[in-house]
C-alpha cells in the first residue's frame, strides 16, 4: 500500500498509548482489569516500555501516512532466541495484514542479528490469536502458570531460517 512503511520508534509514551488502545479490546473480552491484571499490556504505562527499551527492546511502528497505527518489538532472550513482544494494531486497522507485516519485519530483524528462534507469549484463553500465530508458523512450547494474573501465558516459538539462494532447501 502506498504511503506505508515500518519505522523505528522510541517514544515510550507514544508506544504505551498504541499498546493500551490495542490491548484494551482483549482486556474487555476476557474481563481483565487494572486491578486483576495490572501488568497486562492494556494497562501498562510508559515507564514499563521505557524500562523494556533500556533493557534492549527495539520497537518499530507501522506507519500509514503520518500516523503510526501498529507496533511490534523484539528483544534478545538467550542463546539465539529472541522475544517478539508488544505486537499491537489499533482496532480500526485490524484484519488488513498489518500484524503479519510487523511479525515478518521483526523476524527479519532477529535473523539479521543472528537469531534462530522467535518466541511469543499469548494469553492462553485467546484461541483466535493462538490460531493466527499458528498460521504464521508458530508452535506451542509450553503454558506458563502466572500466579498473579487471571490467565496463563501460552508460549509459542518459530524456527527462523535464512534461505540460501544456492540451496533452496536450506
Average pLDDT, integer, range 36-47: 96
> What backbone phi and psi angles, to 5 degrees, belong to 84?
-105, 125
**Averaged confidence pLDDT in the chain:** 93
Read off the pLDDT of residues 76-123 as tens digits, 9 standing for 90 and up. 999 999 999 999 999 999 999 999 999 999 999 999 999 999 999 999
In a domain, 167, yes or no: no
Average pLDDT, integer, range 51-70: 96
Could you tell me whether strands 81-89 and 117-123 are parallel, antiparallel, or unpaired per DSSP bridges? parallel
Number of domains in the chain: 1
Q: Which domain holds residue 25?
A: 4-159
Alpha carbons 85 and 44: distance in angstroms, whole number: 13
Quickly state the pLDDT bin for 163 (edges 50, 70, 90). Answer: low
Quickly state the pLDDT bin for 168 (edges 50, 70, 90). Answer: very low
pLDDT attached to residue 162: 64
Quickly state the pLDDT bin for 150 (edges 50, 70, 90). Answer: very high
111: CATH: 3.40.630.30
Residue 28 has pLDDT above 50, yes or no: yes
Give the residue from 162, 14, 1 showing the smallest Cα distance to 86: 14
In a domain, 69, yes or no: yes
In a domain, 58, yes or no: yes
Amino acid at each position: 500500500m502506498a504511503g506505508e512503511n515500518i519505522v523505528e520508534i522510541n517514544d515510550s509514551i507514544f508506544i504505551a498509548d498504541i499498546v493500551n488502545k490495542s490491548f484494551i479490546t482483549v482486556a474487555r473480552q476476557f474481563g481483565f482489569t487494572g486491578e486483576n491484571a495490572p501488568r497486562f499490556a492494556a494497562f501498562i504505562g510508559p515507564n514499563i516500555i521505557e524500562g523494556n527499551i533500556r533493557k534492549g527492546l527495539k520497537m518499530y511502528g507501522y506507519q500509514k501516512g503520518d500516523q503510526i497505527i501498529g507496533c511490534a518489538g523484539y528483544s534478545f532472550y538467550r542463546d539465539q532466541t529472541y522475544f517478539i513482544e508488544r505486537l499491537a494494531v489499533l482496532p480500526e486497522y485490524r484484519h488488513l495484514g498489518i500484524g503479519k507485516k510487523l511479525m515478518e519485519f521483526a523476524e527479519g530483524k532477529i535473523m539479521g542479528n543472528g537469531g534462530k528462534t522467535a518466541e511469543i507469549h499469548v494469553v492462553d484463553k485467546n484461541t483466535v490469536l493462538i490460531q493466527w500465530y499458528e498460521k504464521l508458523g508458530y508452535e506451542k512450547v509450553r503454558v506458563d502458570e502466572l500466579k498473579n494474573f487471571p490467565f496463563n501465558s501460552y508460549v509459542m516459538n518459530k524456527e527462523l531460517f535464512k534461505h540460501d539462494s544456492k540451496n533452496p532447501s536450506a
